[in-house]
Structure 1
Amino acid sequence: MSAGPLTLYGLKNCDTCKKALNALDAADRETAFVDIREEADLQRLVPAWLKAVGAEKLVNKRSTTWRNLSDDEKSEALGSGAKNVLMANPTLIKRPVIDTGSEILVGWDSGTQQALQA
């Protein structure tokens, strides 16, 4: 892997975020970690992420937070109210969100890993 520094947005206790950080560290990628609950400027970031990847990809529909939402909140989260629902429930954001400087990658799957190797 090459290219410039990355910013990884996630949660300190998230296993997937830890896996991503470890893999990026092993590949000598300079990566800054930002906790989405404590440090991230969600007011600025969430709209940019939604524009870049869309609510369907950014909302973690496998999370406990998702299961605890009402049906109205779920449809809002995937529609025009996504920004408000995600800002009110940061743990609903699929993790990690990786900002490469030129694109936003969501999740830690083979697609994300391949994109970071390019």
Structure 2
Amino acid sequence: MNKIYYLSTCDTCKKIMNQIHDLSQFELIDIKTNPLTENQVDEMYAYTKSFEKLFSKRAQLYKQLNLKEANLNEAGFKKYLLEHYTFLARPVIIFNNEIFVGNSPKNISAMLQKVNA
């Protein structure tokens, strides 16, 4: 199933989702009101083969908890992804067995080409 993991209070997520012509083809998951489950994180990992690729190092909590100095391994990245929604690089869009993580212009452009085709 096609899914979008997003934050409803995030203007960037809203802007990206507004560019998708048919949102009805997606299960929309607001990660603030529906915290990530281990199964969901594991499903994303199956696509990326890396918890670190799902992890946002720009999150304020990352800086507050001084996680840069912690030298996190894959298990550590997974732990924090499950602990708090802010650590997920947003949005995460799963479409036709492909995953698009984060909001880089290149990533969003590639996603929109596939989703809006």
TM range (shorter): 0.7 to 0.9
Q: Which residue of 1 aligns with 2:83?
A: 88
Q: How does 1:88-107 map to 2 (within 5 A)?
A: 88-107=83-102
1:51 to 46, 49, 56: 46
Q: Which residue of 2 aligns with 1:67?
A: 63
In structure 2, relative to structure 1, the CA distance for the partners of 1:11 and 1:94 (3 Å cut) is same
**C-alpha displacement at 1:10, in angstroms?**
1.1
1:46-69 Cα shifts (integer Å, max 9, x gaps): 122223222332111111121112
- Note if 1:14 corresponds to 2:3: no
Q: Which amino acid aligns with 1:102?
A: N
**C-alpha displacement at 1:94, in angstroms?**
0.5
**C-alpha displacement at 1:40, in angstroms?**
4.8
- TM-score for both structures, normalised by structure 2: 0.77
- Whether contact under 8 Å (2:3, 2:94) holds in the other structure is yes
- TM-score for both structures, normalised by structure 1: 0.76
Count residues in correspondence.
111
Identity over aligned pairs, percent = 31
- CA-based RMSD of the aligned residues comes to 2.4
Structure 2 gaps, min length 5: none
